[in-house]
A and B are shown apart, each in its own frame.
Chain A
Amino acid sequence: MIYLILFLEFFKIGLFTFGGGYAMIPLVKEVVLNYGWLAEDKFYDFIGLCEATPGPIALNMATFVGYSQGGVLGGLVASLGVVLPSFIIILIIASVLKKFSDNIFVKSGVRGIKPIVMGLILAAGITLLIKNLNVAYSLDTAFTNFDYVSLIIVSVIAFIFVFVKLIFKKKLSPVIIILISAALGLAISLIFA
């Protein structure tokens, strides 16, 4: 029963994600690949689209994956799954456990979870970068199909971001970064093609 699976998997993801949308990316990736729901490439394409649309990333991903597997109902069920754990837990805290975040066990648990989540997010970013650059995981063939176009794009994005931050003291928003990168991808691919 695909709707039940979607609901349960996203409920689990909602229950174990601490620290915002980026922390959810590794968990959603595992589920999507385990069930063979989407190709990895398409999954990352979609994260790009999520960055350029409003709303929480986690919810956007749930709706997208749910829709791809079970149409409108699938999208609704997955979204409900990812939202419910938060909703229920916060209701309990707001009504009964007023001093929740002062509790020593809660504080200690969160202190232990934070570095784990950072490790997972950094690993997700680095693996995607390696994939984009088309570096193989073997020493002698590592750079045979190296993707120079992606290297140029990543470098230019990083340069623009740091430049704007240092000179104008402003952080470029994800939407702007996505738009610049789309233009770069189009321009450079057309020049080399």
Chain B
Amino acid sequence: MNKKIELFLTFLKIGATTFGGGYAMIPQIKNEFVEKKGWITEDEMLEMIAVSESTPGPIAINMATFIGYKEGKVLGSIASTLGVILPSIIIIMILSIFFNRFIENVYVSYAFKGIKCAVAFLIIKAAIELIIKMEKKALPIILFSVTFILALMMEIFGFRFSSIYLIISGALIGIIVYAIILRKKQEQEKGNEE
């Protein structure tokens, strides 16, 4: 089978069968491309996850583009990305057609009262799982707390401020503190020792 078609079909399958967002896709991708096909080594897989986490965008798209490029250059990456996004797009379009009528039904609205609670639970759970893994040092704790309080205040007092500015500030603070100041300090300490 042509490799581009195989890429497309494999990612189509992954896109259609992974519930629960991008991270849930990692074991599936590993199963298909590392274990079954052997196109990618375990190390390459870890490298791809690292790159996906340090670049913006949905992890699933990052991984599909990466694997597609490695196996079939630009055309391969287009085939993989299309494969992974098509099932979502088609399913959501079909759901959207019925969503408005569907949501007005009394019983459905009762069910959604429960679902909304589950969504709050899932979002808080995702945040807690990330916080547990956070570096327990002064700077990350301060950045986290300030953002959390600011975001809650925005909600309570109803003023709008794009979170994008907060994310950009985080990147700048990270670069200034970790890449410039801390590195200089380390170099100075090395100099002192010598």
Contact = CB atoms under 8 A, between A and B. Distances in A.
A157 interface: yes
Interface in A55-88: 55-60, 63-64, 67-68, 72, 75-76, 79, 82-83, 85-87
Contacts of A177: 118, 121-122
A53 B19 contact: yes
A47 B171 CA distance: 28
A100 interface: yes
Given A30-B160, A85-B57, A123-B152, A104 B183 contact: yes
A82 B112 CA distance: 27
A108 B135 CA distance: 13
Contact of A48 (B116, B171, B183): B116
Nearest to A88: B65
A108 B177 contact: yes
Interface string B112-129: 111111111111111110
B120 A154 contact: yes
B122 A85 contact: no
Interface residues of A, number: 106
Contacts of B5: none
A182 B57 contact: no
Interface string B16-29: 11111111110000
Contacts of B151: 26, 119-120, 123-124, 127
B127 A185 contact: no
A163 to B, nearest CB: 14
Given A90-B69, A123-B151, A44 B145 contact: no
Contacts of A44: 116, 119
Nearest to A129: B120
B85 interface: yes
A93 interface: yes
A51 B18 CA distance: 10
A91 interface: yes
Contacts of A52: 19
Given A22-B21, A127-B155, A112 B120 contact: no
B141 A115 contact: yes
Contact of A27 (B126, B145, B163): B163
A64 B84 CA distance: 17
Interface string A144-174: 0000011001100110010000000000011
A143 interface: no
Interface of A: 12, 14-22, 24-27, 30, 33-34, 42, 44-60, 63-64, 67-68, 72, 75-76, 79, 82-83, 85-87, 89-91, 93-95, 100-101, 104-129, 132, 137, 149-150, 153-154, 157-158, 161, 173-175, 177-178, 180-186, 188-190
Given A34-B160, A54-B87, A55-B88, 15 more contacts: A18-B56, A20-B59, A22-B123, A55-B87, A60-B88, A63-B96, A85-B56, A86-B58, A94-B65, A101-B51, A104-B183, A120-B151, A123-B151, A124-B123, A174-B122
